A and B are shown apart, each in its own frame.
Chain A
Amino acid sequence: MSTVDHLVYMANQIARELASQCPDRPVAATRDHLRQFWDPRMRQAIVAYLDGGGEHLSEIARGAVAMLHETAERAG
């Protein structure tokens, strides 16, 4: 599994868990988790993957990564 494939797998895994743990805000919860625990280069890599189409990201993970993207753009 390549690093980006691994990141996609991890993001989907996190999203899948948080969908049941935080049913009211799974996308934001997934975004928060990625912000709290992922090193910036991992976040940049997953954002770049989304920019390239993000084919294998789940719906929740895709939303979370998009929110990361927006935050990064706002920051800079």
Chain B
Amino acid sequence: MAWIGERDLGTKAVSAAMSATVTLRIDGQNLAVPEGTSIMRAAALAGTDIPKLCATDTLEAFGSCRLCLVEIDGRNGYPASCTTPVADGMVVRTQTDRLAKLRRGVMELYISDHPLDCLTCSANGDCELQDQAGAVGLRDVRYGYEGLNHLAADKDESNPYFTFDPAKCIVCSRCVRACDEIQGTFALTIEGSGFGSKVVASQNDSFLDSDCVSCGACVQACPTSALIEKSVIAQGTPDKAVITTCAYCGVGCTFRAEMRGEQLVRMVPWKDGKANRGHSCVKGRFAWGYANHRDRILKPMIRASVEEPWREVSWDEAIAYTAGEFRRIQAKYGKDSVGGITSSRCTNEETFLVQKLIRQGFGNNNVDTCARVCHSPTGYGLKTTFGTSAGTQDFDSVAHADVIMVIGANPTDGHPVFASRMKQRLREGAKLIVIDPRRTDIVRTPHIAATYHLPLRPGTNVAVLTAIAHVVVTEGLADEAFVRERCDWSEFEDWAAFVAQPQRSPEATEALTGVPAADLRAAARLFAIGGNGAIYYGLGVTEHSQGSSTVMAIANLAMATGNIGREGVGVNPLRGQNNVQGACDMGSFPHEYSGYRHVSDPATRAMFEQAWGVTLDAEPGLRIPNMLDAATDGTFKALFIQGEDILQSDPNTHHVAAGLAAMECVVVQDLFLNETANYAHVFLPGSTFLEKDGTFTNAERRIQRVRKVMEPLNGYGDWEIVQLVAKAIGLDWSYAHPSEIMDEIAALTPTFATVNYDALDRLGSLQWPATEAAPDGTPTMHVDQFVRGKGHFVVTDYIPTDEKTGPRFPLLLTTGRILSQYNVGAQTRRTDNIAWHPEDRLEIHPHDAENRGMRDGDWVSLRSRAGETTLRALITERVAPGVVYTTFHHPATQANVITTDYSDWATNCPEYKVTAVQVAISNGPSDWQQSYQAQAERSRRVLPEAAE
């Protein structure tokens, strides 16, 4: 469906920088456009819209509808303007009597097999077929409407978010091409020929049962209402749109929030969005219904004990109670007895305020963020080696990569919109190396096959990367010129001598890594000499006891092969949550201020002290796991948690629960009574991303605006709630708008120096560093030199995890996420995405299943040293023998009951990816699951009437 208020130029743009200029004449108007531009686009740029149906500027020209015919001097016939490129001196006419007659003839054929129900059609007023019928002046249909037609074809309403009505399909193939070209799933096709042609999903399956991933690209491309959002059918077409940023993963897609009054009708990916380039996934596009879910809590609540039911109170009472409790506890137990957790789902401004509340208001550095449990090793590793805690590229860079190495990431599930970009490049011929214990979808997907999949044993990342480095060094494949110019040469020599040791070789490490030496050698050679080599990695790298070492091993490899500092290369962490990068940037770690400056640095501290008017603590604070340890020891008593659910997301649930239970005041600011709220004393209802202004920073370091499209149902944006708490504890805060918070961030953070809302509105987005030297931001980092000066090679010895398999726990569990669900599922479980993933399943190899007498779908117990849960088995060769896998989206499963306290040596990022387990057939939920369910229900009781 066309996007309201956006112009469609018909065919894709051609880069002016890469092409010569061509001059031509269209309808008497002279114009100059880049060579390769279509006549249709050139005409549109000159202000003339040539009628079209199968053409749209997000897809390659197709030339099937025959509506865009034009006349060209000196050429026979009536070529399609979408598929005909401009030529120097060309003279084109787009509007003649003959063309009008031809177009009307084409339209007559379309309309003769189309329902004439425009007034009651859900796309009325927003239909390209309707528009084009008007544009060509169609007044009657000579063929009548009684002939053979498709008007009685059955609708497919299986997808929860959109319908397919074949009666309204004009078989323009835009949906099929969108699925192929943009999404890369190839789920749709045109079956049959001529009059019998029809769009089908997979092998003529329903959309829900097909390979369709529900990204919405087909719906967006459809020129009629054949494919249309159910929300539009229910609510009517939108009448205005606001550009905002998705609140799901770290890709940071920008969307047009299309509204009808204050009602959100649909989210349509913004084609000018620099992160997503007009594409989306099932979560951002469709899964926003949680904003109005009945579970959402809209009134503040308090209780003296977690054994009591909640009592709804006024905002004044809740804020006063919160402030009073924190002050009471600090007076009784000392200033370091309290702390807080910022949210990677909240805005930069909100995150900045939470850490400011803790540092300025509580007087300590006990602030941490959920990056602790995902990408804290990225911060440590990249800062150590390169000098800054962030990825090196923008997403566009992948279009210039020749060899793509994906390590411990599952982009088609975790970062699907970027995965589509990656797949586009792979279909163009780039090579793919996947290092992952599982055969993830990217390993083999339509028209893509990884050249090498190295299915390593979980926990052996460092050994594998060192073995790759061994090949690079010992076979003379290192980029010595780059290293000599850009890195510390003597450190390189030390590192090279280390990796060259025989015991680091692929052959020597094959037995422990499980990776065939020959494959590893071949992959190493390909990466080293295959052209631009780009590394993308995820939590399969970081969530290990050697997470930081693995990040540094990746950085070593990129430097050694000269793959840093230009387009098409680099080290690219794929961030989990929407604002993980931003939360880290904003000073959410207990040892750093915004911009990654240590709290012990006197000059930085002095800057903040002057701005905030207080003396700040020079000592690092507690990390989340250390807060929980301190709580069980009795020295940590109160925690302010904004937008995180540590009970479900953090490892070793029993330990988290014990820590929370030991505190005297736990404040949860969230949309829902999450699992952590079972242990909370104050619940402050949060606002959704639709209800507030702010910014998110995605995995590219791209700062993008979040814009308020409706009033917060709870009454306040999250930044306002933090400000109320700050005022109640005596801080003199008076922010009238989040833009003022960003101004403060910019004033205190050198890498954000030129960031402000005016610049973001003008430029659309900014990638930090944004400084006087680079006011419009920095797409590629470390171009001329590393931020730290010389690149720093670090020797990364492989040290096996202490989590060992043995007779009691013979299998290795690794955890991850799935496309349709997000993190702990708090949002996506409260949408129709539940249709695709209603429960966590345990993936187990057929051999391991057979040894245990298991059948697909059986209930099985999953047990580790830390705990036990039950879930149903999914038997698949996607996992190797000896490895099992599950997701952690459902609290009924609580996969983190199983995970252990082992964590990254440098950052305490939990070792989610390696847990020794045993699996056995079970009769149903474990005792723990049943008692937890009962406790959760008890804990969520709310007194029926608010106490007045």
User: Which chain A residues have a beta carbon within 8 Å of chain B's beta carbons?
Assistant: 1, 3, 6, 10, 13-14, 16-17, 20-21, 23, 33, 36-42
Contact = CB atoms under 8 A, between A and B. Distances in A.
Nearest to B546: A17
Nearest to A7: B629
Interface string B327-343: 00000000010000000
A17 B633 CA distance: 28
B619 A17 contact: no
A14 B908 CA distance: 10
Interface in B782-797: 794-797
A60 B163 CA distance: 65
B620 A37 contact: yes
Interface in B896-924: 901, 905-908
B635 A41 contact: yes
Nearest to B548: A17
Contact of A1 (B591, B621, B630, B901): B901
Given A6-B629, A17-B906, A39 B901 contact: no
A37 B600 CA distance: 11
Interface string B727-757: 0000000000000000000000000000000
A3 B636 CA distance: 13
Nearest to B617: A40
A39 B906 contact: no
5 contacts: A10-B908, A17-B799, A17-B905, A36-B598, A37-B620
A21 B591 contact: no
Interface string B392-409: 000000000000000000
Given A39-B365, A39-B622, 14 more contacts: A10-B908, A14-B906, A17-B799, A17-B905, A17-B906, A36-B591, A36-B598, A36-B620, A37-B906, A37-B907, A39-B336, A39-B620, A41-B336, A41-B635
Contacts of A39: 336, 365-366, 590, 619-622, 626, 630
The SS class assigned to the B binding surface is loop
B596 to A, nearest CB: 12
A20 B366 contact: no
Per CB-CB distance, the 6 closest pairs between chain A and chain B, nearest first, are A20-B797, A13-B905, A3-B629, A39-B622, A17-B905, A40-B619
Contacts of A3: 629-630, 632-633
B792 to A, nearest CB: 10
B685 to A, nearest CB: 31
A10 B902 CA distance: 9
Contacts of B635: 41
A16 B629 contact: no
A8 B626 CA distance: 13
B542 interface: no
Main DSSP-derived SS at the A contact region: helix
Contacts of B632: 3
A54 to B, nearest CB: 19
Contact of B549 (A6, A17, A23): A17
Interface in B355-371: 365-366
Contacts of B619: 39-40
A1 B655 CA distance: 10
A1 B905 CA distance: 16
Contacts of B908: 10
Contact of A14 (B620, B633, B905): B905
Nearest to B655: A1
A3 B632 CA distance: 8
Contact of B795 (A21, A36, A38): A21
Nearest to B907: A37
Interface string B629-648: 11011010000000000000
A46 B419 CA distance: 45
B304 to A, nearest CB: 27
Nearest to B629: A3
Contact of A33 (B590, B901, B906): B906
B276 interface: no
A64 B549 CA distance: 20
Contacts of B11: none
Interface in B578-605: 590-591, 598, 600
B545 interface: yes
Contacts of A37: 591, 620, 623, 906-907
Contacts of A33: 906
Nearest to B631: A3
A63 to B, nearest CB: 17
Contact of A41 (B498, B630, B799): B630
Interface string B708-733: 00000000000000000000000000
B688 to A, nearest CB: 34
